[in-house]
Amino acid sequence: MGNNSINKQNTENQQKQPDIQLPVSKINYCQFDEVQQIQVCQALSFNKQGTLLATTIKSDIKIWIVDQGKLIDQNIILKGHTQLIRCLVFSRKLNWLISGADDQEIRCWKENELGYGIKSWKSSNPFKIHKNYRQLNFKLK
């Protein structure tokens, strides 16, 4: 009899909750290029300007340049994680990239200008504090 009163109470609580309607915004997209990759890509992210694309290949990150709708392979591979990368997000202000992986590390990658149009990427020391890497949000001040 005790279980019935608990179930009845749960049902009443569920009925009291209002339906929340969230606004839905339409997203327009189109495929602009196609690149064949044998390995599965777990995550990808475009920078704010849409000029860079970061994709994953197991525990590595590949950086592409996007130019007039074409993906240009710059042979830039970022290494640092030891296990599968699950999440990538670019900063909205700078060409910084944040990655989270199964190794429970979060890494911050910063694009550096070396001069003469040559760029490199450098990783921060890993932050070993996260347990849930499915969604990364950050804000630069």
Eight-class DSSP state of 69: T
Written as one letter, the residue type at 28 is N
pLDDT of residue 60: 97
What is the rounded average pLDDT of the residues 59-76?
90
pLDDT of residue 5: 53
From 18-22, 73-77, 78-82, the region with the lowest mean pLDDT:
18-22
pLDDT, the chain, mean: 81
| Strand spans (E) along 25-135 | 44-46, 52-57, 60-67, 70-78, 85-90, 96-101, 106-115, 118-123
From 14-18, 49-53, 92-96, 135-139, the region with the lowest mean pLDDT:
135-139
Its pTM stands at: 0.70
Domain extent listing, the chain: 33-123
Alpha carbons within 13 A on the beta-carbon side of 133: 23
What is the rounded average pLDDT of the residues 76-103?
93
pLDDT of residue 74: 82
Check whether 86 has a pLDDT greater than 80: yes
pLDDT of residue 128: 80
User: Which residue pairs from 3-12 have beta carbons closer than 8 angstroms and sit at least 24 positions apart in sequence?
Assistant: none
4: left (phi over 0), alpha (psi -120 to 50) or beta: alpha
Check whether 29 has a pLDDT greater than 60: yes
